[in-house]
Amino acid sequence: MLDDVSITIADSLSGESLSTAHSKATIPSYASSFDEANNISELPAPLREPLSAKYKHSFAYATFKERVPKILLDLIDSLQKQEDRIIEKYGSYAHFELRRIIWSLNILRNEVLENKPFKYFYDKTPDSLEWNSFIKHLTNRERNQWFSAQWLHAECYLYRRIWRAFQRSELLKDFDYFGQKKICSARNLVYLFRAVLKGVSKLKRSRKDFVTMLKLSLWANRCDLSITSDSPSDQILHTLKQYNKHLLVDQSIEVYRLLTRDLHSSVTPAMVDIILDNAGFELFADLLLGAYLIDTRLAVRVRYHVKAIPYYVSDVTANDFNWMLNFLLNSEIPEFAHLGRKLRYFMKHDIFALYETCKFWTRPEGFRCMRQLAPCLYVQLSFSALAIFKGDLNYRKLLDDINWNSTTPFPDCLGGFLPTSLCALRCIKSDLYCGMPNCLVDLLMLDNPKWMCTGEKAVIQLAFKKRP
């Protein structure tokens, strides 16, 4: 074992499930006193206000009371299991650095459970000053604790704190602590990759086939490593029509019309940006979508955007993107190797581009702040004909984590953020949504009050920007 704290954790969990151990740590009387001490409200989150864990019946509350402590325990357990492999790669001193990292993660977990104030960053990374300024602003507004802060701010801060624990290490600064999970997830779904690749190999330029590819990319978002983990069926292409009953808003035809009829000559031939979400199968589906856009001349260039640090367990980093390309290229499966060579050609000739890593994607602010905080990125997106935002976190940042009325139109919720036409492909995994038909949310709530946290429902929404 790596340290006394980790031994204690391992011993406490032996012979019982993680959920059992956690329930013992948070018995009802403790939960009640915790809620009282931290001003947790029984009321629903008010409309047009940011989501926050201070509302007991919100998914944000469940996130910091249950999910985040489990994510941190799982990470500690993963590091312990990988210790021998890490030492083999980085040397014997990595053992001591792992001890310090796990100690830091345990401290972080206790801070979450005890609702401690956010700490400032004292590392030398370029964004520390920006983060500290942001935390000071939260402190002045008394929103600098896990259960009082805006949910988006607290979660982004969490993953920045995890990253800091590794940045203090000399040997493990560049170690992707979620990497093994992402790689195993991809390798375990080779059968699915193969079935999907075979199914899309003969698709042509048509509205029907474009919608198929867009919905494949959408439903691939259902599976991640932090909320949902069920693998899609290898028959996913044949069951897309069945998924339509779970598609609450579907503007896929409008997206096709945008790429084929509505583009002004100033942005044609079209370039499409895809802001990625999860590694593994979803990244594979997003690469297939990009290849389809190029092959059918719906676009002449596709740019992919990734996270700068390991993020939200399964989010794509540059290493994940390049790993997937090499995995396909070096595969003994002929279809994979062929696709790998095609993607390598696209990358070599700048038909595909991995956009330079930008820290803005891991900042806590919503996208309405992009023009101010990342003006170059905003301008680059404005050159594109369409920006596709994948997944729940990107959707939350589009809406600035505001609890909008469910029927408020999607474009009205963007806070003025519209560098180009935007398409959101999102499997719903949090209690935030907009642009829904009248009464739909009420009907869903009657059927299942937690429907919005399962990833079972989805939306394809478009905000169109008129070109001069």
Q: What is the pLDDT of residue 15?
A: 37
Scanning the structure block, which residue is given the tokens 């589906």?
Answer: 285
Q: Is the pLDDT of residue 6 over 80?
A: no
Residue 335: the pLDDT is: 97
How high is the pLDDT of residue 442?
94
pLDDT band at 228; cut points 50, 70, 90: low
Confidence category of residue 103, pLDDT binned at 50, 70, 90: very high
Instruction: Tell me which of 31-40, 313-322, 432-441 is least confident.
Output: 31-40
pTM: 0.91
pLDDT the model gives residue 182: 95
Residue 126's pLDDT is 84
Average pLDDT of the chain, as a whole number:
91
pLDDT band at 263 (very low <50, low <70, confident <90, very high): low
Mean local confidence (pLDDT), 405-410: 97
